[in-house]
Structure 1
Amino acid sequence: MSVFTGWRAALRIARRDAMRAKGRSALVVAMIAVPVLGVTALDVTFRSVTPSVAETLTSKIGSADALFSDEAMGPIEQLPDGAVSNVYMGVDDAPPVKDGGAVDVRATFPEGSRAITMQSVPANVTTRYGVTDTEIVEIRTSDEMVRGKIDLVRGAYPHGKGEMAATEPFLKATGLHVGSTTTVRNSGRTYTVTGVVELPSELKAKVLYADPGAVIAPWQAKADHDKKVLPPNAGSTDWLVKGPAGVGVTWPTVVEANKSGVLVTSRQVVNDPPPDSEVPLMARNPGISDNEPHVLSTALITVIAMAVLEIVLLAGPAFAVGARRSRRQLGLLSTCGGDRRHIRAVVLGGGLVLGGTGAVAGVVAGLGLTTALQPMIENWAGKRFGSLTTPPLELLLIAAIGLVTGLLAAIAPAIVASRQSVLESLTGRRGVRRSSRVLPVLGACVMAFGAAIALYGGISGNSALVAGGSIVAELGLLACIPVIVGFLGRLGRMLPLSPRVALRDAARNRGRTAPAVAAVMAAVAGSVAIATYMASQSAENEYNYVPLLTKGTVVLSSTDEKAAERLPLVRKAVERSLAVTSGHADFRRVWAGSDCNTYEENHCGSLELVKPTGKAHSCPLTGKGAQKLAARLSADEHKKLMRSPACLVDLTASGAFSTDESDIVVADAALLDTYVKLDDPAAARALAAGTPVLLNPVYAKNGEVTVKAVHQYSEKDKENGKLHPGKARTTVDKLKVYVAPAKYAATPGIRMILPAKTAERLGLHTRATGSAYAVVHTPTDAEYQRVSGAIEQAGGGFWVQSESGPGRRDDTGLLILTLFAGTVTLGAAAITTGLAKADAEADLNTLSAVGAPPGVRRKLSGFQCLVVALTGVVLGTLAGLVPAVALRLIDLQEALKTMRLEPTHSAYTPIVLPWETIGLLVVCIPLLAGVLAAAFTRSRLTSARRPG
């Protein structure tokens, strides 16, 4: 019999055995197919989301041949892709650099071209709730040259001077819809929304589109009438150009346009670039090209390696169980003349059959899943697929990996099956095997060694050592899993029947339990590591964030003195529109008007808090010796010093209440309660008595503070000198103050609250500026639009500020990792439970025979699933902390280096556990696995025939 004949028979036997044991075969196919499905979906999604050169061009220039842009900086040179441009710097035969002025961009177009303009301007428009700021683009969206750059979703393109199109995010944020009207408040013109458009490369953009001349021209006319100017970026114009038929826009045309200062992105040039010798910029700078060689993503390699590991870990026990279930058949094969080689071929044939089936099913399911989830993926990525890219070679490679891995998973069971004696195979005896005592000890040593390497890599700043040490530590922990599972079996002595049997079954059959626990551990470890790192970085960002206002407050401020006269009316509008929880706390701006002559203006003089000299009043992180001090400080010591009142002087944000750096405001006790959150009757009595309240004690000396009045302009400033003739005088006053506790030094925007009668006594000028409110929550977009609209109805001239915090991080990636880990946990636990059920059928029959009720089967399956899931998740959580801690140590070393160079830079690098993610993985996922396993297990026993 030839080799091929033997393998053909082995494959036939394996196929028939797989068809006879459909349940077990389905489990193996599913375990191979699921990782293949994930890698396929990841690969297709990555290729589809990553735009090609042609798709990038389309998103930029639509279906036009080129985009012409005036760089407004004289003659330039560019690369063929239009991404890099340089101003002429002493180039021979270069045209002279212009002193400014408009460039006739049309003159640079090739003869016979057709072009349309594209201009954008920031504007203030009305919404369903009020008013909001947005961007308006003037471009003829109905033109064919725009296709691919801007596409119509529903409705109609705008035509004429009174119509606009909007993106879906803009309509959702503003509460408008097709058919609604909106008014551009800058010009007073009203427009009808006729359609919804989208930017395929930027789905989250909030933009309005109008025909050329519909918005900017009437705005300009109104601005000319009111003697105002448009925003600085409202005048630039880009051109989409369609070149002569069959010619397009060539490289010589691009070079000629560069001489006029016009940057050109040409489809023909990008797709067929000229040789480097014809590109002046590259001829003089050969290394300037930004084209980088393609490098396979490390993340993609990691994902594929993880998928292979999971297949081997989970499919291997499945093949081992299959081999045990077929041991009588394999024994008969031996009695008929088959040797060990033939038995191995049969088991390996099962790996090929089931591996091939799982690989093909995984690739097909991955393509189907990506197609079904394409809209959701596009919304998450914020861009459309150019096309559903299905690279055949990569998909074939993924399928081959699944096939080969299925074969690898069957190698160990094949060797074990071939070594069994014929007597054991025919009688069904398994024999007795003792667990290795060397492997757990070796695993513990390897785990400790790997953790030490990872931590050393973190301290030394070597990320390669961190990655290598983490992998080694995880492999060492993997070797300890059989002992851990065996120890769990001893914990079941005092438990009820079902959990006791589940723990003992897991301990007795470590060959299928340990790999499943390892697979769960591998998936959970990566998720916990990334989640811990992200949570730690988030805590670091929150610590370093300098708030603009006190949390839970909003501040209403006026733009000028004339607007301040409408403060009572505007205040009512704010109180109607926002969820305020208290009355208003008014504040007034104060300035040193007494130092100017009778021709003074509001911004004539300013106040300055003079900080006393001495070590106690200076921040040691600034000035002489700061770097040496920073080199001796630990991160915690530096953190404490950074939060001291002396160092907070330069860290607290200013400008919310005053226009100078003094952060002095005129107010009463209401501001203490509403904004400062200083609940001290003594402070309120001090203000009522005319004594200022100082929030940062570093400015106080012997209970007094020094206030200096100075001019805001230099005596050499001729323009201001004409407005304020006369000699600039300064005054210095010492005031007795109430000094607040040191923690109030971090109050954003305020250093001292000055009573109105004290300001009047000092000869200072004040005017009503705004009000502060305590609110239930940070205002939403709709509330902001509503209050902005109410303010405009009241005459405008005010703006509302609130403290929104450092901003929430995007948890989408973390959510995907958690879902991935949860899916692997559920899958591994379910497959192990199925294998346990198939492998322990005799034990279940025995339980039934001795009087166990039918529900025991359900409880037993549930607890078997719970044991695998919970053990794997707990070990994975512990394993994931090693790389997370090591990576944060790298961040700490980098922060300490920066701190020593810049002493005011924070070196605070915390390690924060993501308790929500850990709780979801440790508690919710195992419980869900156990409940699902119990729910899908039949409680009734089927009649069993006695073997033989």
Structure 2
Amino acid sequence: MSVFTGWRAALRIARRDAMRAKGRSALVVAMIAIPVLGVTALDVTYRSVEPTAAEKLTAQVGSADALFRDPEAGPLDQSVGGDDYNPLSEDPPAPEDAPALDLRTAFPKGARGISIQSVPAHVTTGYGVADVDVFELRTSDEMARGKLDLVDGAFPKKSGEMVATEPFLKSAGLHIGSHITVHGPERKYTVTGTVEEPDNLSLKALYADPGAVIAPWKAVAARDKKVLPPNAGALTWLVKADGGKGVSWSDVMAANKKGALVVSRQVVLDPPPDSEVPLLKKRGTSQMPETSDELSAALITIVAMAVLEIVLLAGPAFAVGARRSRRQLGLLGTCGGDRRHVRAVVLCGGLVLGGAGAVVGVVAGLALTAAFRPLLEEQAGHRFGSLALEPKELLAIAVIGMITGVLAALAPAIVAGRQSVLESLTGHRGVRRSSRVLPSVGAGALVIGVGIAIVGGTTGNSTAVAAGSVVAELGLLCCIPVIVGVLGRLGRALPLSPRMALRDAARNRGRTAPAVAAVMAAVAGSVAIATFVSSKDAEGEYDYTPMFSATSVALYASGEGGSTPAEQLVPAQAAVERNMHTTSAPARISRVWAGSDCDTYYEDENSCGALELLKPTGKGHTCPLNTTGAKELALRMSDEEHRSTMHSPECVDERYTIDTFNGGGSNVVVGGPALLRTYVKLDDPAAAKALEAGTPVLLNRAYAKDGEVTLKAVHRYSDKDKKNRALHPGPARTRTDRLKVYTADAKYAGTPGIRMIMPEKTAHRLGLHTTLYGSIYSVSRPPTDAETQRTDAAIQQAGGTVYVRSGSEAGDRENIMLLVLTLFAGVVTVGAAAITTGLSKADAEADLTTLSAVGAPPGVRRTLSGFQCLVVALTGVLLGTAAGLVPAVALRLIDLRNALKEMRLDPMESAYTPIVLPWATIGLLAVVVPLLAGLLAAVFTRSRLTLSRRAG
């Protein structure tokens, strides 16, 4: 019998055996298919989520040939992609002085175009009113397809109709058929459909035909002598060339001479040589496509762990299958077959089932990606141009899955080949001692892997981190049989079912250990990424500087329309109290300035004077991270010391100052005790008493010296401010005053937008001007879109020009990635535990038969299955959590290294790189998932056993 004949026979036997044991075969196919499915879906998603150059162009120009816009720079030279340009004039006019350009004069001869024009508008909603951008675009024109697509309903057909994006309709409580009133022209429009910009699915916008909104708005503004909102009337054009010949590079350069900037599909996809691009000639640079020589260590690790999981999960199934077929394999020996033929049969079983699993996995991965494509696009924030399928990559994934099936059958094939014919025919397994070498090697690999990962983290080598993490995980894998054996000794004091489950796991380590390792591998990856993401979130929260308090709502009164700010605030406050969750009475806040009326626009930024809170020098006033020797000092500090210094009163204003309340560069505002309690959260009777007595309250003590602050005021009056100019003729006057202050505790130094609160009578005593600016509430939570819109509607109905502002948190900690990783790890954990339970039942059928024969209650079989599943799941989750911390810590070390580099350049940059454990994810995996796995195993296990005739 030739070699090929022997393998053909082995394949035939393996195929028939697979068809005979359909349940076990389906189990193995599923275990091979699941990781292949995951890698296939990951590959297709990864390729699809990054838009191609053509898809990016479609998002910009739709189905047109080019997009024309006016950068208001006169004649220019541009880059091939239209993302950069240089004016040809050495002294180009300012945008407001540039002559208006009719872009249609720059079109190629015979070209047709549609305009895009936008204006910010105040519109009615289902809850009240909201601000939204309104675009005028002929949405029904084919040139807009790809840039703007219809989702539902119909495009506008007349001037009283609009379409809207789904995010706007959802936030506004509207739907197709709803009516919207645009305030300004006060015209009503009907929503006829929903649209989306494929490259920006979260956009909130309205679309109308040209002339439907802006022209009426301009007419009303001209009649009432009002100023249009900023940016109203800025035009861009989508252009289609005559005859479908496209917009060539010569057309682009001709348009550049007229002052137009062009993004041409033809030019971007087929760029001219660098020698024909004037901008490159002048700059002496070459356009090079963005490339990356780095291999993704994360993707390599994912593929490696997928292969490892196939081997770990499918290997025990092949081993059990070989034991279940040992009599058949023994008969093969009696018919003249030797050990290589026995090995060939088992290996061919791996080839057959591996091939089936690979094909099923690839097909299911493609189908699953297509089914979940809308969800993936929502998470990515843009539509995929198409599902990018790389046949070579998909074939490689299938081949890896098939080869992995063979590798999973390799160890069982070797064991089956070593078994004597007599043992195979009688069913005796023999006695084998556990290897003492494997745990020792595993412990060494664990230590070495951790060391490699840590070294990779400290040197910034992500590939070493990935390699070290895999080595450490493999080392821990080698130690699992010993760990499982130790668990078996813990069952002596337990009831029957858990005791039997632990002993069965310890007795059949060849089946239990790989399943535990597979769970460990899945959980380790999830915990590693979840820990890294949680740590980055914590770092982002630390670096976050709020523009406004998260638990506050502010009302800003403009004083327009003939009424005073105080009169405008009364109905606005009632609206806030009625629609938002306020927890305090309103606290008034006023602006303070030193010169002309700051509510009037002046070309000179200092026309209304200047007010500055001078900071003393020396210890306790100067930030140590902004002085000579700061770099060395920062490197000597621990993370906590540097963090504390960064947030100290001396340094909190050194990076940037946020002017929340228009209080000038020094953030000095006028207010009373209510402002302390409401916004500052300073509930101090002494501070309130000081304000009532006319003493300012200083929140940042670094500005005080000997209990006093220095306030420098430059009194400057513009000729436009005739009233104050008559009282204060002549040049600007500078006045410096020393003021006694009440100094608050250091923790109030970082209060957003305020450094000092001054009583109104003190400001007047210093010759400063004040005006009521608004009021502030404390709220139990930030308001929703609906609450904000209801409040705006009530304010507008009252006729006041009052703006509402609410705070925001540092970020949304409910990261979708953590949820996906947790679900993935949970599914693998439940699956691996269920497979092990199924293998346990198949492998221990004789023991269960004996158990029933000696009178064990029917429920014992159910509870035994549940505890077997629980043991595998819980052990794998705990070991996986420990293994996942290795790459997470190493990657954070890379972040620390990069942060230290930045801090050496700028000591004010934070090197704070915390390691935060995702306790919610860990708790879900360590408690909920194992209990769920055990419960499902118990529920789906039959309590009654059908006794079968003993074979042989």
Q: Does TM, normalized by the shorter one, top 0.5?
A: yes
Instruction: Look up the match of 2:3.
Output: 3
Q: Deviations over 1:557-578 (max 9, x none)?
A: 2235855132223222222222
Residues 16 and 258 of structure 1: is their aligned pair in 2 closer, same or farther, counting only changes over 3 Å?
same
Superposition CA RMSD, Å? 3.0
Contact between 1:548 and 1:653, CA under 8 Å: does it hold in 2? no
Q: What SS is found at the alignment partner of 1:573? A: helix
Partner AA of 2:586 in structure 1: H
Quote how far apart the aligned CAs of 1:547 are: 2.0
Instruction: Look up the match of 2:524.
Output: 525
The CA distance in 2 between the partners of 1:911 and 1:293, in whole Å, is 29
Identity of aligned residues (%): 68
The CA distance in 1 between the partners of 2:398 and 2:766, in whole Å, is 84
Contact between 1:153 and 1:195, CA under 8 Å: does it hold in 2? yes
Instruction: Look up the match of 1:122.
Output: 120
Residues 651 and 67 of structure 1: is their aligned pair in 2 closer, same or farther, counting only changes over 3 Å?
closer
Quote how far apart the aligned CAs of 1:388 are: 4.0
The CA distance in 1 between the partners of 2:136 and 2:826, in whole Å, is 48
Contact between 1:695 and 1:751, CA under 8 Å: does it hold in 2? yes
Partner AA of 2:663 in structure 1: T
Contact between 1:532 and 1:913, CA under 8 Å: does it hold in 2? yes
Quote how far apart the aligned CAs of 1:205 are: 1.4
Q: What SS is found at the alignment partner of 2:799? A: coil
Residues 809 and 85 of structure 1: is their aligned pair in 2 closer, same or farther, counting only changes over 3 Å?
farther
Quote how far apart the aligned CAs of 1:212 are: 1.1
Q: Deviations over 1:313-341 (max 9, x none)?
A: 11111111111111111011101100112
Q: What SS is found at the alignment partner of 1:192? A: strand
Q: Which moved more, 1:460-469 or 1:208-217?
A: 460-469
Contact between 2:549 and 2:808, CA under 8 Å: does it hold in 1? no
Partner AA of 1:788 in structure 2: D
User: How many residues matched?
Assistant: 938
Give TM-score scaled by structure 2 length: 0.92
The CA distance in 2 between the partners of 1:248 and 1:661, in whole Å, is 52
Gaps of 5+ in 1: 91-96
Instruction: Look up the match of 1:94.
Output: none
Q: Deviations over 1:116-165 (max 9, x none)?
A: 11222322222222222222211111112222322222222113332211
The CA distance in 2 between the partners of 1:359 and 1:403, in whole Å, is 6
Instruction: Look up the match of 2:159.
Output: 161
Quote how far apart the aligned CAs of 1:296 are: 7.1
Partner AA of 1:488 in structure 2: L
Contact between 1:695 and 1:739, CA under 8 Å: does it hold in 2? yes
Instruction: Look up the match of 2:495.
Output: 496
Quote how far apart the aligned CAs of 1:838 are: 0.7
Does residue 879 (structure 1) correspond to residue 883 (structure 2)? The answer is yes
Does residue 783 (structure 1) correspond to residue 776 (structure 2)? The answer is no
Contact between 1:589 and 1:666, CA under 8 Å: does it hold in 2? yes
Q: Which moved more, 1:268-277 or 1:258-267?
A: 268-277
* Match runs of 1:565-644 below 5 Å: 565=566, 566-592=568-594, 604-644=608-648
The CA distance in 1 between the partners of 2:716 and 2:801, in whole Å, is 24
Q: Which moved more, 1:81-90 or 1:732-741?
A: 81-90
The CA distance in 2 between the partners of 1:41 and 1:637, in whole Å, is 46
Residues 88 and 611 of structure 1: is their aligned pair in 2 closer, same or farther, counting only changes over 3 Å?
closer
Partner AA of 1:690 in structure 2: G
Contact between 1:594 and 1:764, CA under 8 Å: does it hold in 2? no
Partner AA of 1:25 in structure 2: S
Contact between 2:115 and 2:210, CA under 8 Å: does it hold in 1? yes
The CA distance in 2 between the partners of 1:277 and 1:656, in whole Å, is 51
Q: Which moved more, 1:744-753 or 1:306-315?
A: 744-753
Does residue 352 (structure 1) correspond to residue 348 (structure 2)? The answer is no
Q: What SS is found at the alignment partner of 2:804? A: strand
Instruction: Look up the match of 2:538.
Output: 539
Out of 745, 750, 773, the position equivalent to 1:741 is: 745
Instruction: Look up the match of 2:837.
Output: 833
Quote how far apart the aligned CAs of 1:595 are: 13
* Match runs of 1:465-476 below 5 Å: 465-476=464-475
Residues 754 and 99 of structure 1: is their aligned pair in 2 closer, same or farther, counting only changes over 3 Å?
closer
Contact between 1:587 and 1:770, CA under 8 Å: does it hold in 2? yes
Q: Deviations over 1:258-302 (max 9, x none)?
A: 333333333344454455555555678573132648987554443
Instruction: Look up the match of 1:93.
Output: none
Quote how far apart the aligned CAs of 1:109 are: 2.6
The CA distance in 1 between the partners of 2:278 and 2:662, in whole Å, is 53
Q: Deviations over 1:184-225 (max 9, x none)?
A: 224333322222112233222111111112222233333444
The CA distance in 1 between the partners of 2:763 and 2:266, in whole Å, is 70
Q: What SS is found at the alignment partner of 2:231? A: helix
The CA distance in 1 between the partners of 2:421 and 2:921, in whole Å, is 51
Q: Which moved more, 1:289-298 or 1:874-883?
A: 289-298
Instruction: Look up the match of 2:867.
Output: 863
Q: Deviations over 1:651-699 (max 9, x none)?
A: 6854333421333333222222222222222333333333333322233
The CA distance in 1 between the partners of 2:629 and 2:389, in whole Å, is 61
Instruction: Look up the match of 1:648.
Output: 652
Instruction: Look up the match of 1:22.
Output: 22
Residues 685 and 72 of structure 1: is their aligned pair in 2 closer, same or farther, counting only changes over 3 Å?
closer
Contact between 2:75 and 2:89, CA under 8 Å: does it hold in 1? no
The CA distance in 2 between the partners of 1:137 and 1:73, in whole Å, is 24
Contact between 1:595 and 1:709, CA under 8 Å: does it hold in 2? no
Partner AA of 2:573 in structure 1: R
Contact between 1:313 and 1:409, CA under 8 Å: does it hold in 2? yes
The CA distance in 1 between the partners of 2:557 and 2:482, in whole Å, is 71
Q: Which moved more, 1:361-370 or 1:825-834?
A: 361-370
Contact between 2:538 and 2:914, CA under 8 Å: does it hold in 1? yes
Residues 577 and 2 of structure 1: is their aligned pair in 2 closer, same or farther, counting only changes over 3 Å?
same
Partner AA of 1:853 in structure 2: P
The CA distance in 1 between the partners of 2:391 and 2:136, in whole Å, is 42
* Match runs of 1:381-780 below 5 Å: 381-560=380-559, 563-565=564-566, 566-592=568-594, 604-650=608-654, 653-711=657-715, 725-780=729-784
Partner AA of 1:663 in structure 2: N
Residues 640 and 349 of structure 1: is their aligned pair in 2 closer, same or farther, counting only changes over 3 Å?
same
Q: What SS is found at the alignment partner of 2:803? A: strand
Partner AA of 2:681 in structure 1: K
Contact between 2:156 and 2:208, CA under 8 Å: does it hold in 1? yes
The CA distance in 2 between the partners of 1:490 and 1:188, in whole Å, is 81
The CA distance in 2 between the partners of 1:394 and 1:151, in whole Å, is 32
Residues 610 and 394 of structure 1: is their aligned pair in 2 closer, same or farther, counting only changes over 3 Å?
closer
Q: What SS is found at the alignment partner of 1:176? A: coil
The CA distance in 1 between the partners of 2:274 and 2:757, in whole Å, is 66
The CA distance in 2 between the partners of 1:523 and 1:273, in whole Å, is 46
Residues 903 and 182 of structure 1: is their aligned pair in 2 closer, same or farther, counting only changes over 3 Å?
same
Partner AA of 1:343 in structure 2: V
Partner AA of 2:55 in structure 1: E
Partner AA of 1:247 in structure 2: K
Residues 108 and 679 of structure 1: is their aligned pair in 2 closer, same or farther, counting only changes over 3 Å?
closer
Q: Deviations over 1:551-603 (max 9, x none)?
A: 3221222235855132223222222222112211222223346999xxx9997
Q: Which moved more, 1:241-250 or 1:466-475?
A: 241-250
Contact between 1:863 and 1:930, CA under 8 Å: does it hold in 2? yes
Contact between 1:578 and 1:775, CA under 8 Å: does it hold in 2? yes
Q: Deviations over 1:449-506 (max 9, x none)?
A: 2212222332333333322222222121111111111111111111111111111111
Quote how far apart the aligned CAs of 1:30 are: 0.7
The CA distance in 1 between the partners of 2:449 and 2:594, in whole Å, is 66
Out of 883, 887, 896, the position equivalent to 1:892 is: 896
Q: What SS is found at the alignment partner of 1:855? A: helix
Contact between 2:274 and 2:281, CA under 8 Å: does it hold in 1? yes
* Match runs of 1:83-98 below 5 Å: 83=83, 85-87=85-87
The CA distance in 1 between the partners of 2:131 and 2:795, in whole Å, is 14
Gaps of 5+ in 2: none
Quote how far apart the aligned CAs of 1:182 are: 1.9
